[in-house]
């Protein structure tokens, strides 16, 4: 079996306590706050646009945070390095348009199939071959195409509610220009937007109790050829080449040796388990691991990952409360929060798409994805990859 061996024996409570400290606690809190703001806003935006119920969205968030944190704890202890697993943000965005013509049960069937693919790749050791199958610029062009609407949504939020969008954006910009304040710009924007909503009296929760604990839905998947063709390849490719590749590269650059095959297999198991409660595919998160793998001593950074996982589990248990809280805000608040969260990601996607080789294939992929035209009821992200790769192989042979 090609799975990397864990470091045994596992550290006990006394060892973890001795390795822990203020530096790792601070990094963990910052990393967690990132994961619990913009990415959650993206889920809410996609779920609401896709016609999912409030309880379905809360179940999605529960799986993304609580269930994936169990994998994070197990891997961070077993390999003694920061290995935080959450859910695929690009995967979430890919699913958004699919919800317009596929049932949620069909989408969940695609989640499970994606999990099986990743599990087999991890167990077989063929992960690197799969990651190299599609040129990275073309993959990132697909990501840029599906993320573009969040940037457009940010601009449109100014027309929907100028006070909220302007206050949040100015706060984000001011904090981005003032790193000495050590306040994450997205957190500042979230708080200021909430204050504007409170002053305007535009917070309108649904009837009933606002506070609630998680009661995840266990969904029965439906396997349809259309959903499998449309979603499995884009989901698996984005998890492997965008999310996991980023996380592995970040950890490697910071002196760790992440277990690539075991990570892929864990993402497969995670995608199957969390998919049953409606959560998009599990991945090794890049930004969160980037924050905690640059703080303190390398051998003690796993403790920050453990704290992130504990905080994420608590957030997952309170998923219905946070879902109701955010859905009671004006649409411009979610749109602005999601748009600000995606600006840097969108920028990086464009740079990765058009700064090097395979730029024509990347352009074709981007245009097809943005056009959002389904062929044979199969969504545009899949066709973007198909036509982008075909164009690159036919017209950019000298760059291969």
Helix axes 302-317, 68-79, angle to 10 degrees: 170
| Weakest-pLDDT range from 11-20, 288-297, 302-311 | 288-297
Answer with the residue of higher pLDDT: 243 or 15: 15
Bridge partners (DSSP) of residue 85 are 284
Q: What pLDDT score does 294 carry? A: 82
- Cβ neighbours for 23, distance < 8 A, ≥ 6 positions apart: 295, 296
Separation between Cα atoms, residue 93 and residue 192, nearest integer Å = 26
Q: For the chain, which residues make up each domain, given as ranges?
A: 13-399
What is the torsional sign of CA 62, 90, 179, 156?
negative
Length of the chain, in residues: 400
Q: Percentage helix, strand, coil, to 5, in the chain?
A: 70, 0, 25
Inter-residue contact 44 to 319 (CB < 8 Å): no
Separation between Cα atoms, residue 110 and residue 197, nearest integer Å = 38
User: Which of 72-86, 178-192, 248-262: highest mean pLDDT?
Assistant: 72-86
Instruction: Tell me what the pLDDT averaged over the chain comes to.
Output: 90
Say if residue 1's pLDDT is above 60: no
| Weakest-pLDDT range from 162-176, 297-311, 376-390 | 376-390
What is the torsional sign of CA 97, 99, 102, 104?
positive
Query: Residue 377: left (phi > 0), alpha (psi -120 to 50), or beta?
Result: left
Q: What pLDDT score does 400 carry? A: 54
Of the chain, the end-to-end C-alpha distance in Å amounts to 32
> Does an H or E element contain 344, and which?
helix 331-354
Separation between Cα atoms, residue 384 and residue 144, nearest integer Å = 11
Separation between Cα atoms, residue 87 and residue 266, nearest integer Å = 12
Inter-residue contact 80 to 302 (CB < 8 Å): yes
Say if residue 130's pLDDT is above 90: no
């Amino acid at each position: 079996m090609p799975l990397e061996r864990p470091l045994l024996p596992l550290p006990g409570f006394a060892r973890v306590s001795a390795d822990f400290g203020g530096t790792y606690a601070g990094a963990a809190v910052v990393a967690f706050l990132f994961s619990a703001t913009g990415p959650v806003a993206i889920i809410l935006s996609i779920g609401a646009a896709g016609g999912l119920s409030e309880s379905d969205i809360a179940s999605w968030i529960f799986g993304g945070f609580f269930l994936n944190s169990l994998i994070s704890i197990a891997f961070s202890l077993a390999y003694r390095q920061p290995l935080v697993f959450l859910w695929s943000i690009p995967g979430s965005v890919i699913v958004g348009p699919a919800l317009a013509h596929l049932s949620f049960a069909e989408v969940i069937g695609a989640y499970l199939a994606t999990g099986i693919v990743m599990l087999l790749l991890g167990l077989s050791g063929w992960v690197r071959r799969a990651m190299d199958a599609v040129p990275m610029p073309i993959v990132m062009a697909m990501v840029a195409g599906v993320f573009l609407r969040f940037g457009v949504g940010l601009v449109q939020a100014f027309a929907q509610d100028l006070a909220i969008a302007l206050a949040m954006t100015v706060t984000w910009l001011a904090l981005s220009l003032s790193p000495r304040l050590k306040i994450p710009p997205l957190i500042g924007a979230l708080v200021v937007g909430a204050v504007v909503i409170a002053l305007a009296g535009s917070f309108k929760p649904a009837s009933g109790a606002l506070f609630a604990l998680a009661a995840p839905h266990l969904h029965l998947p439906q396997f349809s050829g259309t959903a499998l063709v449309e979603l499995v390849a884009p989901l698996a490719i984005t998890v492997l080449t965008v999310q996991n590749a980023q996380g592995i590269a970040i950890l490697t650059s910071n002196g760790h040796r992440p277990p690539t095959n075991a990570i892929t297999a864990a993402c497969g198991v995670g995608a199957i388990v969390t998919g049953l409660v409606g959560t998009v595919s599990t991945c090794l998160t890049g930004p969160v691991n980037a924050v905690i793998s640059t703080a303190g001593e390398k051998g003690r950074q796993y403790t920050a990952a453990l704290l992130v996982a504990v905080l994420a589990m608590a957030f997952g248990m309170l998923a219905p409360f946070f879902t109701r809280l955010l859905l009671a805000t004006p649409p411009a608040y979610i749109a602005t929060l999601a748009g600000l969260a995606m600006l840097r990601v969108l920028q990086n996607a464009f740079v990765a798409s058009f700064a090097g080789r395979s730029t024509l294939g990347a352009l074709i992929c981007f245009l097809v994805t943005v056009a959002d035209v389904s062929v044979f009821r199969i969504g545009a992200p899949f066709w973007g990859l198909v036509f982008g790769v075909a164009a690159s192989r036919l017209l950019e042979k000298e760059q291969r």
